[in-house]
Structure 1
Amino acid sequence: MEIFNKFTDEREKFKESIAKDEVGLLSLYEASHLRTKGENILDEALAFTTTHLQAMAMDSNCPFSEEAKYALKWPIYKAVPRFMARQNTSLHHNNPLKTNNVLLTFAKLDYNSLQKLYHKELVLNVYRWWKDHKLKELLPFARIRVVEIYVWASGVRYEPKYCNTRRTLAKIITFISVIDDMYDVYATLDELQLFTDAIQRWDVSCIEKLPNYMKGLYETIIEVYEEIEQDICKDNNTPFAFDYAKEALKSLCKAYLMEATWFNQGYIPTMEEYMKVSITSAAYYVITSISFLTLGNNVASKQVYEWAQTDPILLRSTGVIGRILNDMASHKFEQERGHVASAVECYMKEYGVSEEEAIIELEKEVGTAWKDVTEDYTKSSLKFPNVILECVLNVARLSDFFYKEVDGYTFADAEIKHFIDLMLTHPVPI
């Protein structure tokens, strides 16, 4: 951190002269997001640069006002890579004097090429699979979010060579979404106990005990996981990888059942109780387990799964980020509809504070979790491939994207819809 000392004065405050260097200010702001616990100078750098970038963003005469607006909302470290790529091409296209035109053209071609691939995967694989399995007809109560589901999948691994990861993740995230809705708003507690038990047994013969509307879902889940297992065997992977992914789904259903039980009992847990269950119910362990699985054992070795089973800080902190952001964005709607208490309600009850005070404290917890993600990512990169760790980091980024201000999965606002359209529909003008 000594490198940052040259930007401070004798009072150890950042020099006001830095604010005159727009590019330097933006760079310092972006660097400050890679802070970890105890790096006070980066905390101060973030506060200092945020104040000045807010002024830049409001100054229509500033040539970097657009960059400042975007950076304040989507800092590079927390941004979903493909959305960042599109934003950067647009910014540089509109500022030709600051741009290497050859590199810009290559960036545009790359973006448009991937967009065609994504559109093909979405229409020919994900949407067709959804229609062929008649999930909409089988489960009319469930949210139909095929596009958003694909965006989640592509956000975890966006590169062309990971098409199998995206296709597989899209199917599994579909199950997560449908199961979540079933536990939240449709099934009785007795029915949910039957479904949870069936998932724990993982045996198609359990289907006879399930209500009719659950049978098709259960059968499809078993079928898709068997397809995944066959692909693993074809690639000479080892059983522990599939077992880990299967156990993650079992744990998810048990967490959903616990939350449904709390709701039926009218029970508001302590924050410790709630987070222990709700980090699992955020479903990120399922998403990361499947993403690891599809990478093959040359990348996701046995050591990777042994690490993941210890619930490392990187995974757990990603779950904290996703859970709290989701809760802050959706808790009002969910409480009106009828839902287990969120982190907001749990915090309010336990500490006797207002909603506004609870949200301020929960935002601090999200900030701390991002510091933990950064620190553990750095340490873990000495042991495991970046492609593994990036899967987890990208899940945290997706949470920031979808839940920064609203529940962008359930109620995609205009900005999120715009980003999705840019990603899947509108090519970059060459």
Structure 2
Amino acid sequence: MAEARWLNNNYQPTLEEYNRLLIISSGYCLVINTCYIGMRNIATEDIFKWLSNKPKVIDAAIVLCRLMDDIVSNEFEQKRDHVSSFLECYMRQYNVSRQEVVQEGRKRIVGAWKGMNKESLMPTDVPRPFLTRILNLSCFMDVVYKDKDNFTHSEGEMKTFIKALLLDPMKI
């Protein structure tokens, strides 16, 4: 709702405001919760409590997903009514070029990968399958948003990937 208010009021958020909202608006936590629900009885109440405490691995995954999305979809989204992305917020706040912001975003993406790897390799009370879901979803985001927005423009590479997975599966 905050993003809708920003758009309707033509409000330009600060980078800090944007960063606070990106964790909520990414939808990543909802997807992870849904994955965990699908794990049935091994997904105990403790797992969902852990998830609701915003572990660092989730924050890193959200940053990775959101920044990759913002970088590759920015030009297309700004051709229509759309709330400011990381790029606009950063350019406005630091008075830098789009290219410099993309470089900064890519540095943050690398940092997020490192953070996820660190959190995943450290001993934790959370069983490995739960961390694996987060890493797998992040790898999927890497496929969707690596060099272009394969989510919005799914007719190319994404269609090929889906066909390879569902129609031409690997024989074991």
**d(CA) in 1 for partners of 2:124 and 2:7?**
43
Deviation at 1:296, TM superposition (A): 2.2
Give the partner amino acid of 1:362. G
**d(CA) in 2 for partners of 1:340 and 1:368?**
25
User: Does residue 337 of the first structure (1) align with residue 105 of the second (2)?
Assistant: no
Which is richer in helix? 1
**d(CA) in 2 for partners of 1:300 and 1:427?**
29
Asked if the contact 1:284/1:395 (under 8 Å) is kept, the reply is no
Deviation at 1:429, TM superposition (A): 7.8
Gaps in structure 1 of 5+ consecutive residues: 1-256
In the alignment, what sits opposite 1:308? 51
Going from structure 1 to structure 2, the CA distance change for 1:314 and 1:429 (only over 3 Å counts) comes to closer
**Cα deviation code 1:219-268 (max 9, x no counterpart):** xxxxxxxxxxxxxxxxxxxxxxxxxxxxxxxxxxxxxx100111112122
Give the partner amino acid of 1:353. V
In the alignment, what sits opposite 2:131? 389
In the alignment, what sits opposite 1:267? 11
**d(CA) in 2 for partners of 1:429 and 1:291?**
25
Going from structure 1 to structure 2, the CA distance change for 1:308 and 1:267 (only over 3 Å counts) comes to same
When structure 1 is superposed on structure 2, of 404-413 and 326-335 the one drifting more is 404-413
In the alignment, what sits opposite 1:102? none
**d(CA) in 1 for partners of 2:21 and 2:72?**
19
**d(CA) in 1 for partners of 2:137 and 2:20?**
19
Which of structures 1 and 2 has the larger relative contact order (alpha carbons within 8 angstroms, sep 6+)?
A: 2
| Among 33, 39, 44, the residue aligned to 1:295 | 39
Asked if the contact 1:280/1:319 (under 8 Å) is kept, the reply is no
Asked if the contact 1:406/1:413 (under 8 Å) is kept, the reply is no
Deviation at 1:396, TM superposition (A): 1.0
Going from structure 1 to structure 2, the CA distance change for 1:427 and 1:316 (only over 3 Å counts) comes to closer
**d(CA) in 1 for partners of 2:169 and 2:51?**
38
**Cα deviation code 1:20-74 (max 9, x no counterpart):** xxxxxxxxxxxxxxxxxxxxxxxxxxxxxxxxxxxxxxxxxxxxxxxxxxxxxxx
Across the aligned residues of Structure 1 and Structure 2, the Cα RMSD in angstroms comes to: 1.7
* Percent of paired sites with the same residue: 33
Return the index of the structure with the highest Cα Rg. 1
What TM-score results when the alignment is normalised by the length of structure 2?
A: 0.93
**d(CA) in 1 for partners of 2:23 and 2:149?**
17
Gaps in structure 2 of 5+ consecutive residues: none
What TM-score results when the alignment is normalised by the length of structure 1?
A: 0.39
User: Does residue 404 of the first structure (1) align with residue 146 of the second (2)?
Assistant: yes
Deviation at 1:328, TM superposition (A): 0.6
